Amino acid sequence: MIPVIEVKNLTKRYGSTAAVNGLTFTVRPGHVTGFLGPNGAGKSTTLRMILGLNDPTSGTVTVDGRGFRDRPRGLRHVGALLDAGDVHGGRSARAHLSALARSNGIPRDRVDEVLQEVGLTGAAGRRIGGYSLGMKQRLGIATALLGDPPVLLFDEPLNGLDPEGVLWVRGLFRRLAAEGRTVFVSSHLMSEMENTADQLVVIGRGELIAAESLAEFAARGTGLSVAVRSPELTALAAVLTAGGATVHPDGGETLTVSGLSAASIGELAFRNRIVLHELSPRAASLEQAFMELTADSVEYLAGEAR
Ligand SMILES: Nc1ncnc2c1ncn2[C@@H]1O[C@H](COP(=O)(O)OP(=O)(O)OP(=O)(O)O)[C@@H](O)[C@H]1O
């Protein structure tokens, strides 16, 4: 099986709302692909359609070139964590996983292996109802891993995890990708994906904004700015503005300059005999790029209504 996920012109309407609108992207094996978008962007709806839990209104999803009706089902093919709270609270984690292993033809030994992997061996006999959110996430991840599948989907897996848990999940995802699996992970926070994913699919209001590597995505932000410190700020600002730059004073001795490279700024200052104390290029952060690119598609803004 070549576990490529292909989403083509995928649309899902609920009445007059298009939760997902004409999405096309590919998720490849060997990478952790982050699936990013503001709240309500359509991430969960898309994941549910990839899993065959919801039917698209139009468009297609294939895994290994096959649609949901034509491909083998079950945890040995695609593993997923959708909603960590969606488990029977009266059972123990071991009983829950054992039942799933039985119904999916997975060897019994695998239950203890995945419990160990997610760090729940000590709590395996306790009722899931008494688990913290972080423990439920770990159990959800164990469920996704149970069938040792080539394709893994995770919806907001970092929710509720403590910093140690977040580090562990990042390492786990990278290892799963290095083993050649397809790992597709949703989040509404760029900060969560920055150190987790190497590829990104970004959506807003159900539509594709970007599908590319993290580095390519970062380059889409406003781009480089340069911090310049000088005892002659007023003269420097005038020279740089005349040279085509946009200049933002920070109130102290520093200007943030965009539109000119550090080299051009240094040369302009030299030609005009202006002393510089600092000249530092600063890359736009991924967070900035994400906010800029999704600004028009944020549905729920704090403060005033749009
Ligand atoms: N069963 C449903 N009935 C009606 N509308 C729905 C249904 N499921 C989702 N929606 C709507 O579709 C849109 C996309 O929702 P979805 O849960 O897929 O977004 P999301 O990107 O996963 O958001 P979040 O980050 O908040 O979980 C939202 O406007 C949501 O209200």
Residue of 12, 13, 14 to test ligand 1 pocket, by largest number of atoms within 8 Å of CB: 14
What is the SS3 assignment for 105? coil
Ligand 1 atom closest to the Cα of residue 203 is 21
Q: What is the ipTM of this complex?
A: 0.94
Q: Residue with the nearest Cα to atom 7 of ligand 1? A: 14
Ligand 1 pocket member 82 (CB < 6 A): no
Q: Whose CA is nearest to atom 18 of ligand 1?
A: 42
Give the pLDDT score at 298.
Answer: 63
* Mean pLDDT of successive 10-residue stretches along the chain, which has 306 residues: 90 94 97 93 96 94 87 88 85 95 94 96 94 94 96 94 93 96 93 90 93 82 80 94 89 86 93 95 74 70 47
The CATH architecture assigned to 225-282 reads 2-Layer Sandwich (3.30)
| Residue among 17, 50, 156 to mutate when testing ligand 1 (max atoms within 8 A of CB) | 17
227 class by beta-carbon count within 10 Å (0-12 exposed, 13-18 middle, 19+ buried): middle
- The reply to whether the predicted model has a pTM over 0.95 is no
Query: If residue 19 lies in a helix (H) or strand (E), which one and from where to where?
Result: strand 17-27
Nearest to 81 by CA among 187, 195, 4: 187
Q: Which residues pair with 78 in a beta bridge?
A: 151
- What backbone phi and psi angles, to 5 degrees, belong to 62? -125, 150
CA atoms of 211 and 23, how far apart (whole Å): 11
Q: How many angstroms separate the CA atoms of 245 and 262, rounded?
A: 11
Query: Which pLDDT belongs to residue 305?
Result: 42
CATH 3.30.70 in the chain, residue ranges: 225-282
In the chain, CATH 3.40.50.300 covers 5-218
Decide: 41 in ligand 1 pocket, CB within 6 A.
yes
16 lines ligand 1 (CB under 6 A): no
Is ligand 1 within 6 A of the CB of residue 44? Answer: yes
Name, in order, each residue with C-beta under 8 angstroms of 255's C-beta and a sequence gap of 6 or more. 227, 228, 229, 230, 233, 236, 237, 240, 247, 248, 249
CB-based contacts of 261: which residues, under 8 Å, 6+ apart?
Answer: 224, 226, 281
Please indicate whether residue 39, judged by its CB atom, sits closer than 6 Å to ligand 1: yes
Cβ(48) – ligand 1 distance below 6 Å: no
**Which residue minimizes the CA distance to atom 6 of ligand 1?**
14
Report the nearest atom of ligand 1 relative to the CA of 206. Answer: 14
Closest residue by CA, ligand 1 atom 26: 39
Output phi, psi for 180, to 5 deg.
95, 10
For 206-244, write each residue's pLDDT tens digit: 999 999 998 888 776 656 788 999 999 999 999 999 999
Instruction: Please give the class, per CATH, of domain 5-218.
Output: alpha beta
Question: Is the CB of 21 inside a 6 Å radius of any atom of ligand 1?
Answer: no
